Structure formats: structure tokens, C-alpha cells
Amino acid sequence: MSPLAEAPPPPGRVLISEEELKARIGELGGAIARDYERQSPVVVGVLQGAFLFMADLIRAIPIDLMTDFIGVSSYGIGTRSSGAVRLVSDLSMSIEDRHVLIVEDIVDTGLTLSYLKRTLEARHPTSVRVCVLVDKIERREIELALDYVGFTIPNVFVVGYGFDHAGYYRNLRYIAALEPVAGAPERPPLVPPRARMSGA
């Protein structure tokens, strides 16, 4: 018989509560619905981390839309991005002449999301915009326009609500630091940044 897998350590302090997630996702859904009214966007979720955010977000967008998923990878089993981005699963539909909204769980260096935007823009959509749940702006390495932002957090590795470490923690209802980090603020601002649009 195989030995039982070692239990993961408990997550650290809560950064974003379940209530804060629900409230902010409702605000994002309203903003997206206003901006895409009568455009029937294709909402593209980035696997695997964004699947919970994607599910809750589309239910907060009261307009006609379509959904699809794409998979990219830049993490191994550690807590830092490897910097090497690769496509691991592709869309099931054409996005030519469609308005596309990428839904991503987190942006830090910006390398993964930049690669993904270039990949989709090469398929001749009408537009490509980005909605991210969590922005870790301290780690940004390249210029990257974000159209909708849920929360900005300090430079800590987070788990919960779709975020994992070695496959664990995705099912938590909140977002937490993986472990306490000395000097990091106790919580992000309770009033999250307003949705930002980059223009056309």
C-alpha cells in the first residue's frame, strides 16, 4: 500500500476574505457588462488558477457571452515563476472578429499574460482586454495594460480561491499568504482599486 501523502502546512494569514471577494467580483461583473453591452464577448479563462474566479465572474455579468479556456504554464513546483512560458491547452473555438476578455487569477512579472495576449491577438480578434483578480505589481518586469483589476496585494505567495501550491489549497474560500512574511502589511486596503480600462 502506498504511504499517505504528507498533509500540506496550514495557510498563513488571510489577505482577502470570502466576503471581500464576492463584493469585488460583483463590481467587476457590473463594469464588464456595461463595457461589453451588445458585443457578446468571448470570456477566456486561464487554467488552472482562474477557474473559480471565472465561474463567479461570468455569473456576475448579465449580458450574452461565450466562454472558453486556455492553459499556460510558468510555474514548476516552487513558489516563483520559472520565467519560461508555454501553452499547454488551447481554445476550442475561433476568436477571429470577436471581442475577447482574458480572465486571469494573478499577474506578477507580467511575462505569462503578455505572452498570452500576443498569442490571442495573432488570431485577429476585434479586441483583447484583460481582467485579473490579483495584481502583484511589485514583481512586474514588463509594461502591461490591465483593464480590470480586483485587488492589489504585496509580494507574497498566495493560496486559496483557485491559487495552489503543489496542487493544494485551491478549494479555500478566501485568499491567504502561504506563510507569514516579516514586514508585509497585515491586509491590503479594504476598498479595492476601481476597474481600469485601457481604452480601445
Comparing 4 with 160, the larger pLDDT belongs to: 160
Is the residue at 199 inside a domain? no
**67, part of any domain:** yes
pLDDT per residue over 106-121, tens digit each?
999 999 999 999 999 9
Pick the range with the lowest mean pLDDT from 41-45, 156-160, 163-167. 163-167
User: Is 188 a domain residue?
Assistant: no
pLDDT average, residue stretch 51-60: 97
**Mean pLDDT score across all residues of the chain:** 85
Q: Is 162 left (phi over 0), alpha (psi -120 to 50) or beta?
A: left
DSSP type of residue 122: T
Number of domain units in the chain = 1
* pLDDT value for 198: 37
**pLDDT of residue 171 exceeding 90:** yes
Task: Specify the higher pLDDT residue, 183 or 188.
Answer: 183
Q: Looking at the domain assignment, is residue 115 inside a domain? A: yes
pLDDT of 125 above 80: yes
List the CATH number of the domain containing 140: 3.40.50.2020
Question: Is 184 within a domain?
Answer: no
Q: Which of 7-11, 17-21, 29-33, 142-146 has the lowest mean pLDDT?
A: 7-11
- Annotated catalytic residue 147: no
Q: Give the model confidence (pLDDT) of 86-105 as tens digits.
A: 788 899 999 999 999 999 99
What average pLDDT does this structure show over 137-163?
Answer: 94
Judged on CB neighbours under 10 Å (0-12, 13-18, 19+), 35 is middle
Give the confidence band of 54 by pLDDT, cuts at 50, 70, 90.
Answer: very high
**Cβ contact 42:95 at 8 Å:** yes
The C-alpha angle 167, 152, 140, rounded to 5 degrees, equals: 80
Contacts with 4 (C-beta within 8 Å, 6 or more apart), sequence order: none
Mean pLDDT of 72-79: 60
Helix (H, G, I), strand (E, B) or coil at 118: helix
Cell numbers linked to 119: 498569442
Helix (H) or strand (E) holding 121: helix 111-121
Q: Which of 108, 135, 147, 164 is catalytic?
A: 108
What's the per-residue H, E or C state across 18-57? HHHHHHHHHHHHHHHHHHCCCCCCEEEEEECCCHHHHHHH
Assess if residue 167 is contained within a domain: yes
The answer to the question of residue 135 being in a domain is yes
Domain hosting residue 121, numbered range: 14-74+83-177
Say what the pTM is.
Answer: 0.81
For residue 193, being part of any structural domain is answered with no
